[in-house]
Amino acid sequence: MTLHGPITNSFISQRLRLNYIDWGNPDAPPLLLVHGGRDHARSWDWVAEELRHDWHIIAPDLRGHGDSAWS
Protein backbone atom coordinates (compact mmCIF):
# COMPACT_ATOMS: atom_id res chain seq x y z
CA MET A 1 0.00 0.00 0.00
CA THR A 2 1.29 3.44 -0.92
CA LEU A 3 0.54 6.14 1.61
CA HIS A 4 0.55 9.76 0.52
CA GLY A 5 1.11 12.86 2.63
CA PRO A 6 -1.37 13.96 5.28
CA ILE A 7 -4.69 15.59 4.36
CA THR A 8 -6.11 18.57 6.23
CA ASN A 9 -9.84 18.42 6.93
CA SER A 10 -12.27 20.36 9.08
CA PHE A 11 -15.74 20.04 10.55
CA ILE A 12 -18.18 22.29 12.40
CA SER A 13 -18.91 21.66 16.07
CA GLN A 14 -21.05 24.06 18.11
CA ARG A 15 -20.61 26.75 15.40
CA LEU A 16 -16.80 26.45 15.44
CA ARG A 17 -14.68 25.19 12.54
CA LEU A 18 -12.27 22.60 13.93
CA ASN A 19 -9.32 21.35 11.89
CA TYR A 20 -7.68 17.93 11.89
CA ILE A 21 -4.88 16.18 10.02
CA ASP A 22 -5.65 12.72 8.60
CA TRP A 23 -2.60 10.60 7.78
CA GLY A 24 -4.62 8.00 5.86
CA ASN A 25 -4.52 4.20 6.15
CA PRO A 26 -8.28 3.79 6.82
CA ASP A 27 -8.00 -0.02 7.02
CA ALA A 28 -5.79 0.22 10.12
CA PRO A 29 -7.03 0.80 13.67
CA PRO A 30 -7.52 4.51 14.50
CA LEU A 31 -5.03 6.36 16.70
CA LEU A 32 -5.89 9.88 17.86
CA LEU A 33 -2.91 12.14 18.66
CA VAL A 34 -3.90 15.11 20.84
CA HIS A 35 -1.44 17.98 21.34
CA GLY A 36 -0.70 19.90 24.53
CA GLY A 37 -1.83 23.37 25.58
CA ARG A 38 0.75 25.39 23.63
CA ASP A 39 0.93 23.24 20.51
CA HIS A 40 -0.98 22.24 17.37
CA ALA A 41 -1.73 19.11 15.30
CA ARG A 42 1.34 19.46 13.06
CA SER A 43 3.63 19.02 16.07
CA TRP A 44 2.83 15.29 15.74
CA ASP A 45 4.15 15.04 12.15
CA TRP A 46 7.34 13.17 13.03
CA VAL A 47 5.45 10.68 15.23
CA ALA A 48 2.64 10.20 12.69
CA GLU A 49 5.13 9.56 9.89
CA GLU A 50 6.56 6.62 11.86
CA LEU A 51 3.22 5.15 13.04
CA ARG A 52 1.08 5.61 9.92
CA HIS A 53 1.91 2.22 8.41
CA ASP A 54 0.27 0.40 11.35
CA TRP A 55 -2.37 2.96 12.42
CA HIS A 56 -4.92 5.37 10.95
CA ILE A 57 -3.50 8.54 12.51
CA ILE A 58 -5.79 11.52 13.16
CA ALA A 59 -4.38 14.63 14.84
CA PRO A 60 -6.86 17.40 15.69
CA ASP A 61 -6.12 21.08 16.25
CA LEU A 62 -7.92 21.78 19.50
CA ARG A 63 -10.19 24.84 19.72
CA GLY A 64 -8.08 28.00 19.38
CA HIS A 65 -4.95 26.14 18.23
CA GLY A 66 -3.42 25.64 14.78
CA ASP A 67 -6.07 26.11 12.07
CA SER A 68 -9.07 25.62 14.39
CA ALA A 69 -11.32 28.56 15.28
CA TRP A 70 -11.26 30.39 18.60
CA SER A 71 -14.36 30.22 20.75
Cβ atoms within 10 Å, residue 41: 24
**Chain segment 10-46, per-residue pLDDT in tens:** 999 999 999 999 999 999 999 999 999 899 999 999 9
Reported confidence tier of residue 3, pLDDT bands at 50, 70, 90: confident
Determine the Cα–Cα distance for residues 35 and 9; give it in Å rounded to an integer.
17
Question: Rounded to the nearest 5°, which phi and psi values hold at 16?
Answer: -115, 140
Amino acid 48 reads A
Query: Where exactly are the structural domains of the chain?
Result: 7-60
Question: What is the per-residue pLDDT for 27?
Answer: 93
Own/partner long-range contacts of 35-40 (Cβ < 8 Å, ≥24 apart): 35/59, 35/61, 35/62, 35/65, 35/66, 39/65, 40/65, 40/66, 40/67
